[in-house]
Structure 1
C-alpha cells in the first residue's frame, strides 16, 4: 500500500507552503525524512525528529534521526521504525522538526492509503505549493500567560539596601 501525505510548513508563515508526497507503507520514517528534506530544498544534514501527534497536534513520543540519549538504545529511531508501525487510519498525524537550531516545523498528515501504481517510482513528490522562506518562521512561545501568577520581584525588595537583605555579605 501507498501512504499519501500532506506536509505543511508551520502556519506562522504568510503564504501556505506544503508538499504532497507518496511513500510505501513499509518504508521507514527515515525514508519519509529524506523525501521531506529533498522536496523542501534542505540538504538533509541537520538533526531531525518526528513526534507522534493527536488530532489537536499535541506533541507526543519522539522518533529521532540519531540516538543522542545517554543510555544507548533507549531512543526510538527513524531508521528502525516503519510508517505502518506508527501511522494508520486512526493515527494520521506527525510533527516533523528539522534543524533544531532553526526549528523548521512541519505538520505531516496521512491523507490517504491507496494501491501502488505500476510505473511510479516511490517515494514520489506529487504536488508542490509555495516556496519555503529563507529563514524558519519564528515561534511564538507565549509564556506570559503561564507565569502571570508568579512574579519573582513582587516582594518589592530593594537590592541596593544591603543592610536589610537577609544574607551575610562577608560569608567567605
Structure 2
C-alpha cells in the first residue's frame, strides 16, 4: 500500500511539474509573439474629411505590424539594386499604370496620393522636393515590407513568389511614383 501511495505521489508530482512547464512555455511564447508580424494588419482610412497631413505618431501606426516606438522602420544598409545607381536612360514605363485616388492638398507640404496594386494600397504625401509615406496596407494574403531612405521610399508586396514594388523617388528630380511587378 505504501508503495502504491508513493507511486501515486510521484505521478501527481510529475503531472503538476509537466503542467507548470507547459503553461510557462505557452506564456513565454505568447509574450514573445505578441506584437510581431503575426498580428492582423491595421490600416488607417484615407478619407476626404480627414486632414491630409498626418502627425508622425499616426503615420507610424499605419504599418501592418506593431513595432516598438523607439525603433524606426528598418532600412537596408544598401539600397536595392534597382534604385542604387541613377540610370542615364529614361526609366521603362511601369508594367501597370498607377491608379491614383482622389487627393487632398495638405497644409504647405504637398498632396496625398494613393496607389492601389494587386498586393495592397500605398499612400504618399508628395511635396515639391520630397515625399512621406502616409500608409501602406497589404491585401489579404500578401506580405509587405517598407524601406525608407533620404531619397526614396520603397514598399514591396509579396505573395507566392510574386513581388510588386511601389517606388517613390526624388533624387535630383521632383518626387515620382513607379510600380514594378515581377
Per the normalisation by structure 1, the TM-score is 0.24
Q: Which has the higher contact order (CA 8 A, sep 6+)?
A: 1
Per the normalisation by structure 2, the TM-score is 0.23
Which has the higher Rg, Structure 1 or Structure 2?
2
